[in-house]
Amino acid sequence: MPCWPLTPASNCRSERTDDVIEQATQTARVLNEALPYIQRLSGKTVVIKYGGNAMVDADLRESFARNMVLLKHVGVAPVVVHGGGPQIGQLLEQLGKESRFVQGMRVTDAETMDVVEMVLGGQVNKAIVAQINKVGGHAVGLTGKDGGLIRARPMKLAGRDADVELGQVGEVESIDPTLVHLIAGGDFIPVIAPIGVDAQGVAYNINADLAASKVATVLGAEKLLLLTNTPGVLDAGGKLLQALHASEVQALIDDGTIAGGMLPKVRCALDALDANVSTATIMDGRVANAVLLELFTDAGIGTQIRAGSAVAG
């Protein structure tokens, strides 16, 4: 039995069979190998977009929460920005309201916006906070309304969808990071629901990838991790692209390989890199300990988006 969460160590020593010793040795090796990564990241901020689809499984939710608490304990400041698409969709369906998506954005009328606020800012945000706190962390839930965190304006799509009326779908106009600094600079882990507000107090539904990317930029984060429900960016044959350079992205969008909900992710990753976030990774949130794998192992996971062009050979 693992000793988690708070059993005193003296009560949970396993009998030292060969198997147990081998497993413990492996654990010690892994921790030791993580040291240089921890040293490099300690004192830095990592912004994690936690996707709606990666939140559905109870074991994964716990693994994610424990990863956040571990980061905090080794001196990394995790800042979580979460989605909640499936959860919003579920309640809208129960209410008999259909959703329409254009370029991965949910068309949001006033009634839909109420549901978005209830689900994102209420149910989903507090569930993540509670989960992190349950495993020993101190998470604090926020929406973009708190402390004037996210100022939003209506989003306008470009190109052939320019005439589409998206309703209360927003894009980030500006971020005031004061409150996040205050929270993350202490013992706390900020958990942000991507709801923005304009000067008149009107709320906007902001794609969580966009919000995460802007938050990462304004905080001067070292890394942006976008957790989702696929292994990363897949090529036309469905194979994972382990690295993707900025110069390769447009062609994949033009030929339709990157579409739907993957579009904002890739664009956000590129924006973050332009703004000096050192790496942006689109990765599988359905893998246990995904965040630790990416941050603290050589192999990493998912698709690391890189600035510039691929170097031949």
Return the structure tokens found at 134.
């349950």
Indicate the residue among 149 and 212 with the shorter CB distance to ligand ADP: 212
Among 115, 258, 277, 305, contact with ligand ADP (rule: CB under 6 A): 258
Which partner from the list Mg ion, ligand ADP, none does 228 bind, CB cut-off 5 to 8 Å by kind? ligand ADP
Which listed range, 28-36, 110-118, 137-145, 225-233, lies at the site for ligand ADP (CB under 6 A)?
Answer: 225-233
Residues 95-124 that bind ligand ADP (CB under 6 A): 104
Q: How far does Cα 171 stand from its chain's mean position?
A: 17
The contact mask relative to ligand ADP for 33-72 (x = CB under 6 A, - = no) is ------------------xxx-------------------
Our finding on whether 89 is near Mg ion (CB under 5 A) is no
| Best CA proximity match to 235, nearest among 221, 260, 210, 256 | 256
Tokens of 39: 């040293």
- Count of Cβ atoms closer than 10 Å to residue 67 Cβ: 23
The listed partner (ligand ADP, Mg ion, none) that binds 78, CB under 5 to 8 Å by sort, is none
Return the beta strands (E) in the chain as ranges.
45-50, 77-82, 101-102, 105-106, 139-143, 150-154, 169-175, 189-193, 195-197, 203-206, 223-228, 243-245, 279-284, 303-306
> Is residue 141 part of the contact set for ligand ADP (CB under 6 A)?
no
Nearest to 169 by CA among 215, 208, 214, 218: 208
Q: Which of 261, 292, 294, 306 binds Mg ion (CB under 5 A)?
A: 261
Q: DSSP H helical segments within 137-261, as ranges?
A: 178-184, 208-219, 246-254
Q: Which is nearer to ligand ADP, 197 or 226 (CB)?
A: 226
Binding site for ligand ADP (CB under 6 A): 51-53, 83, 85, 104, 228-230, 233-234, 257-262
